[in-house]
């Protein structure tokens, strides 16, 4: 069994687009890495491919395997698509924050949904409860295999060998990299590539308010895919030079600005990245080249980020269009 050809060939090599209208008044340049243009709609296509392909190569995944993973949505879509291509059964453990659009796409690829509705008692977070449920499923289902996005070196490897390599080929040694964090696979892989080249790139981690990845105070978060209720195994203390925390409102405002100025409909974490750049704008020197990873598509957030009624009810303000 091999994971190649077909839809797999469309993963990666996403374009970098200069966000010249959004940052027209700034003396630096910002380029968005359009990860939402991957076939599964997000940057998670890359680690999904690497984790499955390497597991197949090692003999850990065969044609009889059942793939199990915990995901807030995007990795589940990527795995569901690739498992459908391979003809493998896929079970995704999700929680109530996963959007209906994500769930519908997963099911369209014949993925099975296992919903954890009660958070972990000790932490109040869903992620530990989801991981515990994954362990239960793996112990109960013959030939079950956990890809483990939170600890798999193949997650980070995907981004060191593809994402950051592509940015380097397209822009050279950028001055700043802005990257949202959750499993820490993207930022870890990008960091390893940057450090291996000896670049002086400043790596800015964009984390959600309420996330504990970098020791922040635990709190509620409305959007999946940005921040985490635990410190992932792929996290390292030196993975970023600076951390910028963004609120749910920041994510909405950044997304709305991307649509208004650049006609780019991106997901919540992309809005957080844009807001982080805006917040740091006064400290970014003239002439600097900034790369911003925009992880996923906005269609999955039509009922949240792009729904004025939802934003008013859940976040408490009226967006300006």
**Three-state DSSP class for residue 34:** strand
Q: Which pLDDT value is given to residue 122?
A: 85
User: Which CATH topology does 6-37+153-314 take?
Assistant: Rossmann fold (3.40.50)
Average pLDDT, stretch 259-272?
A: 98
Q: How far apart are CA 250 and CA 79, in angstroms?
A: 29
* Fold match between domain 6-37+153-314 and domain 45-146: yes
Q: How far apart are CA 297 and CA 267, in angstroms?
A: 5
Which tokens hold the place of 80? Answer: 């569901």
Residue 230 has pLDDT above 90, yes or no: no
Please state, as a whole number, how many other Cβ atoms lie within 10 Å of the Cβ of residue 278.
17
Percent over 70 (pLDDT), the chain: 100
User: Which CATH topology does 45-146 take?
Assistant: Rossmann fold (3.40.50)
Q: Which pLDDT value is given to residue 97?
A: 87
Q: Which pLDDT value is given to residue 123?
A: 84
CB-based contacts of 281: which residues, under 8 Å, 6+ apart? 23, 26, 28
Residue 81 has pLDDT above 70, yes or no: yes
Q: Which pLDDT value is given to residue 320?
A: 72
Which tokens hold the place of 134? Answer: 């994954």
Q: How far apart are CA 41 and CA 219, in angstroms?
A: 28
Residue 12 has pLDDT above 80, yes or no: yes
Q: Is 78 within 8 Å of 44 (Cβ atoms)?
A: yes
Average pLDDT, stretch 56-70?
A: 98
Average pLDDT, stretch 176-189?
A: 97
Q: How confident is the model at residue 1 (pLDDT cuts 50, 70, 90)?
A: confident
Residue 124 has pLDDT above 90, yes or no: no
Sign of CA dihedral 34, 38, 44, 48: negative
Please state, as a whole number, how many other Cβ atoms lie within 10 Å of the Cβ of residue 294.
30
Q: Is 197 within 8 Å of 167 (Cβ atoms)?
A: no
**For the chain, which residues make up each domain, given as ranges?**
6-37+153-314, 45-146
Q: How far apart are CA 126 and CA 229, in angstroms?
A: 8
């Amino acid at each position: 069994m091999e994971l190649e050809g077909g839809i797999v060939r469309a993963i990666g090599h996403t374009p970098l687009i200069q966000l010249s209208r959004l940052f027209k008044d700034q003396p630096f340049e910002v380029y968005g890495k359009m990860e939402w243009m991957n076939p599964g709609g997000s940057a998670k296509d890359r680690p999904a491919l690497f984790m499955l392909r390497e597991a197949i190569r090692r003999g850990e995944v065969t044609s009889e395997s059942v793939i199990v993973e915990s995901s807030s949505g995007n990795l589940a879509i990527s795995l569901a698509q690739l498992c459908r291509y391979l003809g493998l059964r896929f079970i995704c453990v999700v929680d109530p924050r996963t959007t209906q659009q994500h769930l519908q796409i997963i099911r369209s690829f014949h993925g099975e949904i296992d919903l954890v509705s009660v958070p972990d008692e000790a932490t109040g977070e869903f992620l530990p409860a989801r991981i515990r449920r994954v362990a239960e499923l793996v112990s109960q289902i013959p030939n079950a295999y956990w890809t483990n996005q939170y600890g798999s070196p193949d997650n980070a490897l995907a981004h060191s060998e593809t994402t950051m390599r592509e940015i380097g080929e397209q822009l050279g040694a950028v001055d700043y990299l802005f990257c949202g964090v959750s499993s820490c696979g993207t930022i870890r892989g990008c960091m390893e590539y940057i450090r291996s080249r000896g670049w002086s790139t400043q790596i800015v981690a964009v984390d959600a308010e309420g996330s504990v990845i970098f020791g922040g105070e635990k709190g509620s978060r409305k959007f999946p895919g940005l921040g985490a209720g635990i410190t992932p195994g792929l996290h390292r203390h030196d993975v970023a030079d600076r951390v910028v925390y963004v609120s749910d409102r920041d994510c909405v405002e950044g997304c709305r600005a991307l649509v208004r100025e650049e006609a780019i409909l991106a997901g919540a974490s992309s809005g957080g990245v844009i807001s982080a750049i805006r917040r740091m704008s006064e400290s970014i020197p003239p002439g600097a080249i900034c790369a911003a990873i925009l992880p996923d598509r906005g269609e999955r957030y039509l009922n949240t980020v792009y729904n004025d009624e939802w934003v008013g009810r859940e976040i408490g303000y009226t967006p300006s269009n």
